[in-house]
Amino acid sequence: MMNRVEKAWVLAAVVGLVGPSLAAAQEGDPAVIAKMQQINAQLKAKRLGIVVEQIDFFTIGGARPSNRVHAQEFRWVPNDERRNADGNRLTYLVDESDGKTASGLTSAQTEAAIDRSLATWAANDCLDNVGIVKRNDGGTDPDIFDSFFGFGKLGTLFLADIVNAGWLPRDYFEAVGGAGGGRGILAFSVTFIFVEDDGTPTDVDGDNRLDTAFNEVYYNDNFGDRRGDRAGNPWGIDVALPGIDVETVALHENGHSLGLGHFGPPPDAVMNPVYAGIRHVPFSGDEAGMCAVFSSWPD
């Protein structure tokens, strides 16, 4: 239970009365939040105008908390020139260089499954105003989060709004999530927001929400790796448990990319925090969530 003072702070944050720096929430796993803040100190020093805001882990077995730096919500800003916006449309890219899996899937197979997941969200009536556009992988490294853990270079920013960054080794997930991450985390989404040089988040459209800069999704290649401790749960296409279905995980992760958080169960939802077998069709709660996020998106 929250006490009266905490309730007042939460209410103030929800209605936008408190500035983002004052309303810093730092919800989640303290160790993960600490890593996010270390990364943000490095990003601030580079004066890139962006920081990490939220990480959501999609797990098998036990759920993990969402990790968010500020209490204030964040949203995409339509036609935001800072992220090379394609008008009011949102763009995504699939990094083909990390698309094949130890379980034997080709990059073409995983990319097609990711494409289907984006097409599913795009078909939601509440996303009619949000065209979802694919940007082709031109071979340039399109992601940055892995570089802070020694698993890649600091890639090129803003090649797309949403980057499905591919399948990375077990150790990366252990490093990001902490103990058990390599075995428990199927995939995660990391959202970056725009900040001023002093680190203050921006709200350029005055919607009382911080401004999403870009989102990256990483998939754990430990699943189905015969040398690892998840050999019995291989990534596959349209596979039932104990296999892990790429399209189901991509639908969940790109739900985060578009702006949804975790909820339930109950009710059952694509956005439940723990994997529960094939789910290729959003549930009513998922649909309602998208409608809430995009209700004021312009024509």
Applying CB under 5 A, does 286 fall inside the site for Zn ion?
A: no
Cβ-based nearer residue to Zn ion, 55 or 193: 55
Helices and strands (H, E) in the chain, number of each type: 7, 11
Closest contact distance (angstroms) between CB of 101 and Zn ion is: 19
- Contact call for residues 211 and 228 (beta carbons, < 8 A): no
Cβ-based nearer residue to Zn ion, 58 or 192: 58
From 15-23, 57-65, 118-126, 142-150, give the range in contact with Zn ion by CB under 5 A. Answer: 57-65
Cβ-based nearer residue to Zn ion, 203 or 286: 286
Closest contact distance (angstroms) between CB of 138 and Zn ion is: 28
- The count of residues in the chain is 299
Query: Residue 245: what residue type?
Result: D
Residues 140-199 that bind Zn ion (CB under 5 A): none
Applying CB under 5 A, does 58 fall inside the site for Zn ion?
A: yes
- Using alpha carbons, select from 169, 159, 155 the residue that is nearest to residue 135: 159
- Contact call for residues 218 and 172 (beta carbons, < 8 A): yes
Q: Contact with Zn ion (CB under 5 A): which of 36, 40, 52, 56?
A: 56
- Using alpha carbons, select from 57, 52, 28 the residue that is nearest to residue 144: 52
| Alpha-carbon span 62 to 36, nearest angstrom | 22
Please list, residue by residue across 221-233, b when 16 or more beta carbons sit within 10 angstroms of its beta carbon and e when fewer do: bbbbbeebebeeb
Size of the site for Zn ion (CB under 5 A): 2
Cβ-based nearer residue to Zn ion, 67 or 72: 67
Cβ-based nearer residue to Zn ion, 58 or 121: 58
Binding region for Zn ion (CB under 5 A): 56, 58
